[in-house]
Structures are given as structure tokens and as C-alpha cells.
């Protein structure tokens, strides 16, 4: 629910104590159960191609495998890591060779050795030059990207569910940080200050951001507002912050909006409720086995039904106003955006993120979820926590979520 805030500072001791508790109780970046599950999926994926190994080169894939950061810059799905891993599956063990320049290995060797010591069955070695047997899947092979993605993308249940716990923790922290920052902003606050405070509080929790988009007065109609000089919060205006937070291989995308100086109008409240209904209706169609083109085609009907139900004129025109989001993975960002002629198929236990925007008011709703098995309704990541404002909404099947 969009809060309407006056132009004075806000402080909530409950909110601050929740933040401190979350920072103090971060889930581990990697657990033995999680690592073994990941290696099992990777083995199954490469064996389908009659290979016995794979050369992982993407920064996102290396974070997924090692539970460590290796690159010092923001990453995208194609970004290569300064260190790579040749993972080979023999009958009796897993052999992993870490490859990188000598100056990179001074850090990577002790850190990865410590991380992998929890799984003694892994044989670990290091090299400054890579030697690849013919049976190892390599990046220039046409099947490489889809094979690696099939192993890295699923956030599947495991014995300790650490991948899911990391994502849930990151969702809760991200919501709390944006709530805190927007409540402490006031009339006159610049986008630079908001961006800096978001990054500061996330960094204190060992979380980084792939993106921080901030829109204030004068940027209401910008779908992807960029922080620049000359923009600040004005009375009666909205401030909107969108982030892509990352905790090692976990990602969470969220948009938060607040209004300053004046209350929300009745139309703005109706627009927000309509957008939430439309977002949930669209998100509920992310089912295992659904074709990308079918998802694209379904969006307009979802928005038309909401227009009819909420009596928001021309609401269906917003169906394709913004991009339609899509699946995302540890490789770095969305794996692809849903498109009209797309041929991809939604996989099981895949994360996805959507963020439709109302053309008239600029109100954006961002939801992230995880697909289930078969045609099961996806799970919306709806972390409920005392001290954070939430509101009940219902999906088309009648399931209640708090967002």
C-alpha cells in the first residue's frame, strides 16, 4: 500500500530493530546440502549432452557455485568472472579446477578452499591456464547457455532450502530498507540522497544492487528514471524507488512508492488496487510448461477484466505500456523479457519478476515469484513482517497474499 507522508522526518524504532535483527541473522551464502544439490543438477544437465563436465565462466554462475563474490562490478547474465571453474563429474567424485590469473588466485584459493571444505568429496585444484578435455561443455558450444541456465535457474527445494531462505531474507530486507528510506525522505530530498541511503543500508547488510532507479518530481512519466541533478521531492508528488538487490546468488526486485505532502486521491487509491489485481492476475499465469508467447497474449485480457471490475477508464491500455518482465536467475538479471513471438517455455522452480505500470498515474507494482511443478500456481514472495506495511490481496484462484 502506498503511504501518504507529510514533509517531516519519520522514525520507527520497531522498523530499525527489525533491520538490525535481519542484518544479524543473515542466512549462510552456501550450505553443504545446497552445494551438493547444485552439483547434482549440474551433473544431470551436462550428462544429457553426453558430457562429463562444464567450464563455468559467468560471474553469476561462479557466485552460484561458490557462494562468493568474484567481480568488483555490477553484473549481467553475460558478464564473465575473473576466475572460472572447470567442473568434472567422475564415477566416484567431483573434480573442480579453479582457473584465473595469479593475482586473482591469491584471493580465490583460500576463500574457495574454505568454502568447499564442507564437502570433502570435492577434489579441488587451481591453475593459471585452462586445459579442457573434449568431454567438457565449453562456452562456444551452441548448447552451453541453455544447459548452464537449466542447472542454475531452478530454486528447487532441498534438505535445508537455503536458496529459498536467502531469497526470502533478501525480500524482507529489501522491503524494509525501501520503507525506511522513503519514510525518512521529505519534501526537498533529492534522488541522489535517496539512492545513497538505499545503497548504504543494503551494504551494511552485505547486499549489493544491480540497479537503483529513483524517480521524484519531474520524473513521474519516466519508466526507467535515472538519478540526475535538478530533481527533488516536491509537495504533493510521488517518489518511486526500484532496486534489483543481490545477496550472492539470490536476487530480489522491488519497487516502492510514497506520496509527500498531500493524501492519496480516491482515483490514485483505485489505480493502485487495480494495478495490484492486474499484477497478481498476470503473475498467476507463470506456470511450469507455459509458453512465453501465451503469457504475452494473456496480459491484455487480464488488464481488460480489471478495467471492467474496478471501473478505471482505459486501464487495459496499460497492459503493454511497460515491458512484461520475465524469468530471472543467478546469472545476473532477467534471463529474457516476455515477448510476443518468444519461444521459451517457463521451467519448474524458476524465479520470475514482473512490474506493470499504469499509464495514467505512473503507479508501478512489482511482484516476484517462484513457479511450482506442473500447472501449480506460482508462489508469490510475500514476506510478512511486523513493522512493515502490508495489505491483503487475492489472486484469481482466491489465494490471499500480503504485499
What pLDDT, in 10s, does the model give residues 288-316?
999 999 999 999 999 999 999 998 989 99
CA angle (276 as vertex; 238, 361 as ends), nearest 5: 35
Alpha carbons within 13 A on the beta-carbon side of 80: 9
CA angle (275 as vertex; 189, 382 as ends), nearest 5: 80
The answer to whether 253 and 334 are in contact (CB under 8 A) is no
Number of helices (H) and strands (E), helices first, in the chain? 9, 15
Q: Which residues of the chain have pLDDT under 70?
A: 1-13, 74-75, 77, 382-403
d(CA 263, CA 79): 44
**What values do phi and psi take at 255, rounded to 5?**
-120, 135
The answer to whether 299 and 385 are in contact (CB under 8 A) is no
180: closest CA among 311, 11, 317, 364?
11
DSSP state of 275: H
Query: 65 is written with which cell numbers?
Result: 557455485
* Residue 151 neighbours by CB distance under 10 Å: 22
| pLDDT value for 6 | 47
User: Cell match 503493454: residue?
Assistant: 320
User: Cell match 542447472: residue?
Assistant: 151
Q: Nearest 10 degrees: CA dihedral of 334, 326, 270, 236?
A: 20
187: closest CA among 221, 235, 146, 141?
235
d(CA 173, CA 228): 26
The H or E element spanning position 256 is strand 250-260
Judging by DSSP bridges, how do beta strands 53-58 and 80-89 pair with one another? Answer: antiparallel
Residues in the chain: 403
| pLDDT value for 268 | 93
d(CA 248, CA 69): 7
Amino acid at each position: 500500500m502506498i503511504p501518504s507522508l507529510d514533509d517531516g522526518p519519520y522514525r520507527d524504532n520497531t522498523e530499525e530493530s527489525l533491520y538490525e535483527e535481519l542484518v544479524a541473522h543473515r542466512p549462510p551464502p552456501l550450505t553443504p546440502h545446497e552445494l551438493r544439490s547444485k552439483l547434482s543438477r549440474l551433473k544431470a544437465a551436462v550428462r544429457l549432452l553426453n558430457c562429463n563436465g562444464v567450464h563455468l565462466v559467468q560471474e553469476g554462475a561462479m557466485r552460484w557455485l561458490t557462494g562468493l563474490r568474484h567481480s568488483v562490478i555490477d553484473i549481467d547474465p553475460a558478464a564473465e568472472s575473473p576466475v572460472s571453474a572447470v567442473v568434472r563429474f567422475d564415477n566416484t567424485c567431483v573434480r573442480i579446477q579453479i582457473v584465473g590469473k595469479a593475482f586473482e588466485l591469491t584471493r580465490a584459493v583460500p576463500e574457495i578452499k574454505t568454502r568447499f571444505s564442507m564437502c570433502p568429496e570435492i577434489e579441488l585444484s587451481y591453475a593459471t591456464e585452462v586445459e579442457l578435455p573434449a568431454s567438457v561443455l565449453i562456452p562456444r558450444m551452441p548448447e552451453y547457455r541453455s544447459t548452464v541456465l537449466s542447472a542454475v535457474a531452478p530454486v528447487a527445494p532441498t534438505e535445508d532450502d537455503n536458496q529459498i531462505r536467502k531469497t526470502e531474507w533478501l525480500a524482507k530486507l529489501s522491503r524494509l530498507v525501501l520503507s525506511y528510506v522513503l519514510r525518512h525522505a521529505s519534501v526537498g530530498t533529492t534522488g541522489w540522497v535517496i539512492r545513497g541511503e538505499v545503497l548504504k543500508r543494503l551494504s551494511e547488510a552485505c547486499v549489493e544492487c544491480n540497479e537503483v532507479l529513483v524517480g521524484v518530481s519531474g520524473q513521474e512519466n519516466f519508466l526507467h528514471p535515472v538519478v540526475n541533478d535538478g530533481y527533488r521531492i516536491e509537495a504533493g508528488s510521488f517518489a518511486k524507488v526500484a532496486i534489483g538487490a543481490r545477496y550472492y546468488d539470490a536476487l530480489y526486485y522491488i519497487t516502492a512508492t510514497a506520496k509527500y505532502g498531500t493524501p492519496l486521491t480516491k482515483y490514485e487509491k483505485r489505480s493502485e488496487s487495480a494495478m495490484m489485481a492486474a499484477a497478481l492476475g498476470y503473475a498467476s499465469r507463470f506456470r511450469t510448461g507455459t509458453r512465453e508467447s501465451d503469457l504475452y497474449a494473456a496480459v491484455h485480457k487480464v488488464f481488460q477484466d480489471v478495467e471492467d471490475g474496478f471501473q478505471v477508464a482505459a486501464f487495459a491500455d496499460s497492459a503493454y505500456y511497460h515491458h512484461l518482465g520475465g524469468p530471472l536467475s543467478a546469472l545476473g538479471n532477467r534471463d529474457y523479457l516476455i515477448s510476443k513471438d518468444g519461444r521459451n517455455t517457463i521451467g519448474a522452480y524458476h524465479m520470475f519478476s514482473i512490474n506493470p505500470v499504469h499509464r495514467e498515474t505512473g503507479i508501478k507494482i512489482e511482484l516476484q515469484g517462484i513457479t511450482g511443478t506442473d500447472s501449480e500456481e506460482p508462489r508469490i514472495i510475500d514476506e510478512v513482517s511486523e513493522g512493515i506495511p502490508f495489505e491483503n490481496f487475492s489472486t484469481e484462484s482466491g489465494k490471499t497474499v500480503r504485499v
